[in-house]
């Protein structure tokens, strides 16, 4: 049985990924410092280690364990938060990635899958945006993700794949974090009965992708040699306006057409439109996003409603 290490395994995408890996029969080890991940996301069938990936000493806990592949998902994943503590962002997102690469090299781990972000494009010049688009990162978070990509690209002896995730949503996110995860942020305001505060124009358009579709791509690519040394976008490939997204959340959760919305000034590094060109991953592994924004939002709201009853 192959043993897989997942950094950020208690986070939103990480915990969903682990559940899928377990169903496929893999043995999984999770690493997380619980700065944003939730202990409730942990599975009793997984060895869960609580440590900060930016500390090289912590990685000694994994010495002697034979690992076949690494999914590196752990990160401080908010553009806005990266401005509040850029030094911490640097440590987790860049030094953490360097430690992952060193760990793979030291233990002769040949397979590494890294989740980057569409934020590395900054304000893209091409819509839909292909993976070949020039990188123009204009937040600390985006800069650190772009640098991490480059660290991985110049590593030796590792079969890496990089996925640039677009706005990912679904049940199981940390509702206490108001700076990351557009769908979750808006729903959190509704669950607390607070006005929805929107940073930036309601006319901004976003490509949103359900976490199940993200996980499908991550798992399918694990043993696909065609994905080695390649970068892919993971989005739905279509856009929805922030205005329409809020309307769907309010209508779906409250069955109402009206809810107080406060439009505030936008954040640095927040583009007007994001839309992924997903042709390359569709061609290489036959992956296709299956959950439309309409169905995905409805499913997400249904799960949160059940959990709050």
Each residue's pLDDT tens digit, 218-247:
999 999 999 999 999 999 999 999 999 999
Q: What is the pTM of this model?
A: 0.95
Q: What are the two backbone dihedrals, phi and then psi, of residue 168, each rounded to the nearest 5 degrees?
A: -100, 135
What is the rounded CA–CA span in Å between residue 284 and residue 250? 38
Q: What is the torsional sign of CA 43, 47, 50, 53? A: negative
Residue in this structure with the two tokens 């798992």, named with its chain if needed: 219
Domain boundaries, the chain: 3-171+209-235+275-290
Q: Name the 3-class secondary structure at 45.
A: coil
pLDDT of residue 144: 93
What mean pLDDT is predicted for residues 51-68? 96
Q: Name the 3-class secondary structure at 91.
A: helix
Residue of 72, 93, 95 lying closest to 140 (CA atoms)? 93
What is the rounded CA–CA span in Å between residue 98 and residue 92? 10
User: What is 3-171+209-235+275-290's CATH topology?
Assistant: Rossmann fold (3.40.50)
Taking CA atoms, 161 is separated from 44, 127, 186, 274, in Å, by 29, 23, 32, 22
Average of per-residue pLDDT values in the chain: 93
Given pLDDT bands bounded at 50, 70 and 90, which one contains residue 269? confident
């Amino acid at each position: 049985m192959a043993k897989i290490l997942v950094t950020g395994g208690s986070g939103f995408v990480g915990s969903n990924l682990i559940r899928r890996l377990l169903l496929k029969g893999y043995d999984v080890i999770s690493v997380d410092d619980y700065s944003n991940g939730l202990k409730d996301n942990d599975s009793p069938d997984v060895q869960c280690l609580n440590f900060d990936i930016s500390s090289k000493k912590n990685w000694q806990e994994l010495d002697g364990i034979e690992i076949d592949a690494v999914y590196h998902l752990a990160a401080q994943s908010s553009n806005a938060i990266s401005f509040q503590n850029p030094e911490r962002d640097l440590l987790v997102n860049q030094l953490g990635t360097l430690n992952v690469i060193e760990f793979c090299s030291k233990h002769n781990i040949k397979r590494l899958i890294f989740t980057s972000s569409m934020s590395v494009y900054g304000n893209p010049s091409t819509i839909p945006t292909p993976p070949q688009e020039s990188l123009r990162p204009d937040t600390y978070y985006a800069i650190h993700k772009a640098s991490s990509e480059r660290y991985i690209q110049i590593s030796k002896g590792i079969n890496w794949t990089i996925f640039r995730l677009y706005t990912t949503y679904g049940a199981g996110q940390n509702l206490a974090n108001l700076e990351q995860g557009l769908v979750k942020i808006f729903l959190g305001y509704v669950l607390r009965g607070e006005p929805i505060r929107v940073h930036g124009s309601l006319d901004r358009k976003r490509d949103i992708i359900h976490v199940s579709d993200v996980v499908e791509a991550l798992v399918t690519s694990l043993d696909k040699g065609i994905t080695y040394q390649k970068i892919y976008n993971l989005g739905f490939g279509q856009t929805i306006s922030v205005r329409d997204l809020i309307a769907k959340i309010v209508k779906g959760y409250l069955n109402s057409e009206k809810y107080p919305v406060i439009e505030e000034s936008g954040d640095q590094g927040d583009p007007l439109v994001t839309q992924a060109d997903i042709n390359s991953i569709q061609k290489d592994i036959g992956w296709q996003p299956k959950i439309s924004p309409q169905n995905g939002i409805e499913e997400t709201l249904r799960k949160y409603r059940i959990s709050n009853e």
